[in-house]
Structures are given as structure tokens and as C-alpha cells.
Amino acid sequence: FMPEKAAVLADRVLTELVKELNIRPVPVVFASFSGGPKGCTYKVLQLIEGRCKGQLSLGDYQLVRDCVCGQIYDSSPVDFVSDLGTRFLLHPSVLKMPEPPRVLSWMTRGIASGLDTLFIGKFEAQRKEYWETLYSSVHVGPILIFCSEDDELAPCSVVQNFGRRLLELGGDVNLVKWHSSPHDITSITLRNTELQ
């Protein structure tokens, strides 16, 4: 998780979005999948709320803010603590193999543990900023959240707690929970009939 890279990516996304909105303002719904909130979405939200400085003008951010009418989270947001990050890196869908080599598992866990020890203060501050930003977006519009009880990478309890907290903050939240659904974008296509 690198906030600086997330900010650069968020600015690029918003630059492209502003080009389209300058031609014709239309309703915008932000959709985030898996690690998307941590990789980009939370910085997009910070930029349009003026909580951090970006490359666009204040008027451009205002244009986006005026057009945003909702959010969608699929298998997210998740809290990228070292254990979950390790599980993600070693997951068969990421490695493209049924089971990671044992030495790779040991190395990944060792590196994650070392990073936790070295940067615990910095990671905790970033984690706090991340969750505060996501919660502060409650006023953006309706929020649709998808999760699955058997998702190994996005624990249903974390996603449900996020939805519950948004409700407590006065959000218009709809949580769709499946018993069994894969952790990837195909969950939407697989469940297309259920969504209609």
C-alpha cells in the first residue's frame, strides 16, 4: 500500500473523468473491486473533497463532486493488514497455481512481518486515514456493497462492518451478501440475473 502512488493514480482517473464531464456532465458512480479502495478510490474521494492537493483545478474537482451520485464496492473495502496482504499474494488466483511453493509462503510471511515491525506507526496512520476517508464519503449518495460469506480475500465480516458503520453514519446502504461467490469481478457477471 503506497499512498503516493494511489494519489497519482487517482489524479489520472479524475483527469480522464473531468475530460468527459466537461463535454457533458452526467451522473457518476464510483465502483471499487477488491483492493481498489486502498489502491485508488480513497484518494479520489480525498481529492474531490479537497482533503489533499492534486493536479486539477478546484473547479474541476467541484465538477466531479457535483456529478458523483453513488458508490459500489465489490468484495471491498478490506483492511490490508499483513495477514490479509499475505493471503492475497499467495492466493491461487494471483499466483496462477493451485498452491504456492512452501519457500514462497515462508518468504512472503517473513517480509510482511518485518515490514510490520519497521513501519507499524506509519501503517497505522495510513490505515486510520483510509477508513476515515471511506466513512466520510457516506454523504456522496447511495452505496451498494457486494460480499460473499466464503470469500477468503475479503472477509465478509469486514465488509459487513463497513456497511453497518455507514448506516450508523446515516448512509443509504444496500448490502448484497451471497453464500458462495468467487473473489473477482466475475461475481457480477455470474450473478447478473440476481442483480436484475
- Give 96-115 pLDDT, tens digit per residue: 555 656 666 656 666 666 55
| Assigned CATH class of 3-195 | alpha beta
Distance CA 165, CA 180 (A): 24
Distance CA 67, CA 27 (A): 5
Q: Which of 18-27, 64-73, 115-124, 131-140 has the lowest mean pLDDT?
A: 115-124
Percent of the chain clearing pLDDT 70 (strictly above)? 62
Residue 121's Cβ-side half-sphere holds a number of Cα atoms within 13 Å equal to: 1
pLDDT tens-digit readout, 68-105 = 999 998 876 766 554 444 444 444 444 455 565 666 66
Distance CA 181, CA 195 (A): 13
192 residue type, one letter: N
